[in-house]
Structure 1
Amino acid sequence: MKKLEIVGFKRANLGKKESKDLRAEANIPAVLYGGANQVHFYAPAILFRDLLFTPDAYEVTLNIEGDIYRAILQDTQFHPVNDSLLHADFLEITDKPIKVNVPLKFVGNSPGVQKGGKLVQKLRKITLRGAAENIPDAVEVNISHLDLGKSVRVSEVKVENVEILNALALPIATIDIPRSLRGK
């Protein structure tokens, strides 16, 4: 997984009014759980941009007033109208296995695409469970054997030392046959 650091400050007061005041100052209230105790904190909204608007999976180093925590972003809440970030939940990385969505990366040249077919990506991310050290940046899917009308499924993907949580029969990508080639 890629790494990112967020510097935050502990929250003294919890509640709706205090959260609203933090957001007005361009800060995001957040919580870290999964460790020995929960840590309520806030951080500047600009630090969340690289974490939210990317397909990559990140391990986040949280620096909360000098205390360092390793975590992953577990959940986010957005405003229903203006899509601004309202709240973030982080899961502390311990010796327990974690569950992460990791992006898929296609490798190889498909003979079906070379014949005029279209590669249709059905799945953008795959869910993995395992130790944080074993989670890859991306999962490579080989499409060099896909011909017209064929698909690659989750069961054909192999990742070392982690468990794949998606349904094994789920298609990842398919080569669609264009109309001009269907009659042949």
Structure 2
Amino acid sequence: MKTFELTGTKRSEIGKKATKALRNAEEIPAVIYGGDAKEATAFFVKANEVRKLIYTPEIFLVNLTLDGKVTKAILKDIQFHPVTDNVLHLDFLHVLEKKPIVIDVPVVLDGLAEGVRAGGKLSLDLRKLKVKAMYDKVPEKLHINVEKLALGKSVQVGELSFEGLELLNAKNAVVCRVQLTRAARGLAAKNAE
């Protein structure tokens, strides 16, 4: 997993007025929870510093510096404004050495499926899978080999297994499938005659 360096400043004032003043100064309110602390810690970060963390399909382990103390964390949730699409709030989760984390990992399909060679179309239904694992076992991407995937067949979550990871999606959820195209149906009907 890649790392991302981020510096935050603890918030002394909490409330609508203080939050609005932060957002007007192009700073994003945030919170980190979990870990040894019983309560969440409120802080803020500069909007331009988190752009590469937010607008990417990759996952990062964040080295978050608050008051000179570095904490390992992952970005758990992002709240966007419904109209302007500005970032309103960030939630970080404290990462511990001995406690597993739950995170969405991007899926990558490897190989050319048999069904595609036969005229089908490969579609990726789940772009990310929710996994539970120790933070150092989480890969940057989950690679799925689809070379043996025939026409009209699919790969479900229950058929997949990755070392050191527990998949939390529904077992019958379809990750990818090879669909029959109109051209392939027409060719099959023509050959049947």
- TM-score bracket relative to the smaller structure: over 0.9
Q: CA deviation at 1:53?
A: 1.4
Aligned partner of 1:5 in structure 2 is: 5
Counterparts of 2:121 and 2:34, CA distance in 1: 44
Q: CA deviation at 1:129?
A: 0.5
SS in 2 for 1:148: coil
Q: CA deviation at 1:54?
A: 1.5
Q: CA deviation at 1:100?
A: 0.3
Note the 1:33-182 alignment, pairs <5 A. Answer: 33-37=33-37, 38-94=40-96, 95-182=98-185
Counterparts of 1:35 and 1:13, CA distance in 2: 23
Counterparts of 1:162 and 1:152, CA distance in 2: 18
SS in 1 for 2:64: strand
Q: Which amino acid aligns with 2:55?
A: F
Q: Deviations over 1:44-89 (max 9, x none)?
A: 0112211211122211110112110000111111111101001111
Q: Deviations over 1:124-158 (max 9, x none)?
A: 00000011111111111110001111111112222
Q: Is the 8 A contact 2:106 2:128 kept in 1?
A: yes
Q: Which runs of 5+ in 2 are unaligned?
A: 189-193
User: Could you say what the CA RMSD is over the residues aligned between the two structures, in angstroms?
Assistant: 1.1
Note the 1:10-21 alignment, pairs <5 A. Answer: 10-21=10-21
TM-score, normalised via structure 1 length: 0.95
Q: CA deviation at 1:36?
A: 2.5
Counterparts of 2:46 and 2:107, CA distance in 1: 30
**Which protein shows a greater Rg?**
2
Counterparts of 1:176 and 1:24, CA distance in 2: 49
Aligned length: 184
Select between 146-155 and 96-105 the one with higher mean Cα deviation: 146-155
TM-score, normalised via structure 2 length: 0.91
Counterparts of 2:119 and 2:50, CA distance in 1: 41
SS in 2 for 1:48: helix
Q: Which runs of 5+ in 1 are unaligned?
A: none
Counterparts of 1:52 and 1:136, CA distance in 2: 18
